[in-house]
């Protein structure tokens, strides 16, 4: 007589209800006790730092296992080539959409921003990198420093080299591959423990931003904020929605409902990085193959920043209009070309988006750089839309690339999106998906 193992009780529903409550409480505390609320910022910062602590090992394990399980290196090249090509096209479209909406709204018109006001907060803008410095920065000092310094692109490089090396080892590399698989399980288990601190982090982050900025600071900036949010929504649900339906035959609303908890996590932390590990696990559970997920998701987090692209162009037009020095059509097109390249370095570094914005303006209209300090005041509020759009873009990109290379289990996609095969929240990874040893043997 066989006995069925006890069904694991999903307690994470209480966790996410606590996150919602913490966000509401944080807003109230920020409004009622602003001075006290600003001192709570370390709570949010600490939680995000805990998440970021896990990014490098998760990316390393995912890419090494993804690349190492592909039979031929050309397959990795095909996936990577399609992903990079898609990222470049979508970033260009996002930048163009931002310019189009910015020219329609003219968000900074009428503010008549003075140079003295514009310089307020400018000290928060980090220095911009040149293209050469950015490329050289991808190479870590040592293999270990790629992990200790928390540089995503450096970790990507080391992981790709390790994945190809593991691939070349053939059967001799099997013990190493299995070892990395076990490490990945350990890393995801640690992450699931960290997630229970999410309500504390969400409360601290929300209270600090509301208490620090207040509502008065937003009155003159409501147009660009609302315009930016609407633009991101249109880009996600119209542009991405059409692509998802035409290519993958999936309704984007069903996909985003499946990723609802990740969107809530990003909304509370304003960081798409906080949901990266969960996106990797959930896209594999959805039916996209491990190699495609392992290559597309981490690469997308560095090169597929649609929300950031929209932000860069709309902010540029806002600053130019606010200083009564509007950009000509020629200057806008030239700026768009610059941003296509520069936006690829705006990931994984705090303030990198502002640095890229400053770099673009200084290369075209140096007299507008002072206005970047003014945008800092609402950057935290716009970061939610940036992070949500970036995450949406990477989830859609993973599904599209998997469809193009025929590495998506369409039956599993339907089962998951219809609720027949729910994701196992208790372990962060569904042990019945292609992460088990038998399935890995079949793909290696």
Is residue 53 situated within a structural domain? yes
Q: 30 or 9: which carries more pLDDT confidence? A: 30
Instruction: Report residue 138's pLDDT band, with 50, 70 and 90 as the boundaries.
Output: confident
Q: 285 or 298: which carries more pLDDT confidence? A: 285
Paired tokens of 59: 């990316």
In this predicted structure, the answer to whether residue 26 has a pLDDT above a threshold of 90 is no
The pLDDT assigned to 204 comes to 81
The pLDDT assigned to 440 comes to 31
CA atoms within 13 A on the CB side of 233: 6
Beta-bridge partner residues of 288: 408
What sign has the CA pseudo-torsion 163, 167, 169, 174? Answer: positive
Q: 265 or 269: which carries more pLDDT confidence? A: 265
The pLDDT assigned to 353 comes to 60
Paired tokens of 93: 């479209």
In this predicted structure, the answer to whether residue 2 has a pLDDT above a threshold of 50 is no
Taking CA atoms, 198 is separated from 14, 138, 258, 274, in Å, by: 12, 31, 20, 10
Nearest to 58 by CA among 167, 181, 157: 181
Instruction: Report residue 122's pLDDT band, with 50, 70 and 90 as the boundaries.
Output: very low
Domains held by the chain: number: 1
Contact between 247 and 404 under an 8 Å Cβ cutoff? The reply is yes
Taking CA atoms, 72 is separated from 75, 79, 83, 159, in Å, by: 6, 12, 17, 17
In this predicted structure, the answer to whether residue 121 has a pLDDT above a threshold of 70 is no
Angle at 269 between CA 319 and CA 304, to 5 degrees: 60
Is residue 20 situated within a structural domain? yes
Contact between 358 and 369 under an 8 Å Cβ cutoff? The reply is yes
Paired tokens of 407: 């590495």
Taking CA atoms, 271 is separated from 167, 177, 202, 316, 350, in Å, by: 33, 31, 11, 22, 10
- Average pLDDT of the residues in 8-17: 61
Residues 6+ apart with CB under 8 A from 407: 79, 288, 289, 291, 292
Enclosing domain of residue 296: 13-214+221-416
- Average pLDDT of the residues in 192-215: 74
Instruction: Report residue 143's pLDDT band, with 50, 70 and 90 as the boundaries.
Output: confident
CA–CA separation, 108 and 98 (whole Å): 14
Helix H segments across 33-72?
Answer: 34-38, 41-68
Q: Report the CATH number that the domain containing residue 62 is assigned in CATH.
A: 1.10.3860.10
The pLDDT assigned to 23 comes to 76
The pLDDT assigned to 69 comes to 60
- pLDDT, tens digit, for every residue of 326-358? 777 877 777 777 676 655 545 444 445 665 676
The pLDDT assigned to 437 comes to 35
Is residue 441 situated within a structural domain? no
Is residue 244 situated within a structural domain? yes
Is residue 39 situated within a structural domain? yes
3-state secondary structure of 12: helix
CA atoms within 13 A on the CB side of 426: 6
Contact between 82 and 401 under an 8 Å Cβ cutoff? The reply is yes
- Residue in the structure block whose two tokens are 């768009």: 336
Is residue 112 situated within a structural domain? yes
The pLDDT assigned to 436 comes to 37
Is residue 36 situated within a structural domain? yes
Rg of the chain, C-alpha, whole Å: 22
144-150: long-range pairs with CB below 8 Å, 24+: 146/56, 147/56, 147/57, 147/60, 150/52, 150/53, 150/55, 150/56, 150/348
Average pLDDT, the chain: 74
Nearest to 393 by CA among 294, 308, 284, 286: 308
- pLDDT, tens digit, for every residue of 214-267? 555 445 567 778 888 889 999 999 999 999 999 989 999 999 999 988 888 887
- pLDDT, tens digit, for every residue of 147-201? 777 666 777 788 888 888 888 887 888 888 889 888 888 887 887 787 788 788 8
Is residue 363 situated within a structural domain? yes
């Amino acid at each position: 007589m066989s006995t069925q193992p006890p069904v694991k009780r999903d307690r994470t529903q209480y966790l996410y209800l606590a996150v919602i409550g913490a966000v509401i409480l944080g807003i109230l505390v920020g409004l009622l006790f602003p001075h006290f609320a600003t001192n709570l910022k370390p709570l949010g910062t600490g939680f995000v730092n805990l998440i970021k602590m896990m990014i490098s090992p998760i990316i390393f394990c995912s890419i090494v296992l993804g690349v190492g399980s592909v039979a031929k290196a050309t397959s990795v090249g095909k996936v990577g080539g399609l992903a990079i090509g898609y990222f470049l096209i979508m970033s260009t479209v996002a930048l163009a959409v931002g310019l189009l909406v910015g020219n329609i709204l003219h968000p900074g018109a009428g503010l008549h921003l003075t140079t003295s006001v514009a310089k307020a907060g400018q000290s928060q803008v980090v220095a911009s990198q040149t293209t050469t410095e950015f490329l050289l920065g991808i190479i870590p000092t040592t293999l270990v420093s790629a992990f200790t310094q928390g540089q995503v692109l450096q970790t990507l490089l080391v992981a790709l080299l390790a994945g190809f090396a593991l691939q070349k080892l053939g059967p001799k590399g099997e013990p190493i591959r299995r070892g990395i698989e076990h490490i990945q399980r350990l890393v995801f288990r640690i992450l699931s423990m960290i997630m229970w601190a999410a309500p504390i982090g969400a409360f601290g982050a929300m209270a600090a931003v509301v208490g620090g900025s207040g509502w008065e600071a937003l009155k003159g900036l409501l147009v660009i904020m609302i315009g930016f949010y609407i633009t991101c929504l249109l880009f996600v649900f119209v542009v991405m929605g059409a692509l998802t339906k035409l290519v993958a035959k999936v309704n984007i609303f069903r996909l985003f409902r499946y990723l609802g908890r990740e969107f809530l996590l990003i909304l509370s932390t304003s960081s798409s990085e906080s949901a990266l590990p969960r996106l990797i696990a959930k896209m594999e559970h959805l039916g996209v193959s491990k190699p495609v997920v392992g290559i597309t998701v981490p690469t997308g987090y560095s090169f597929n920043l649609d929300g950031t692209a929209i932000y860069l162009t709309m902010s540029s037009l806002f600053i130019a209009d606010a200083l009564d020095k509007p950009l000509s059509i020629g200057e806008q097109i030239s700026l768009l070309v610059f941003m296509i390249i520069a936006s690829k370095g705006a990931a994984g570094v705090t303030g990198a988006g502002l640095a890229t914005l400053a770099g673009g303006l200084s290369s075209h209209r140096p007299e507008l750089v002072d206005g970047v300090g003014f945008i800092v005041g609402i950057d935290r509020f716009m970061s939610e839309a940036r992070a949500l759009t970036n995450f949406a873009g990477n989830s859609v990109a993973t599904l599209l690339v998997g469809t193009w290379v025929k590495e998506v289990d369409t039956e599993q996609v339907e089962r998951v999106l219809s609720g027949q095969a729910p994701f196992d929240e208790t372990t962060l990874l569904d042990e019945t998906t292609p992460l088990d040893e038998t399935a890995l043997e079949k793909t290696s």
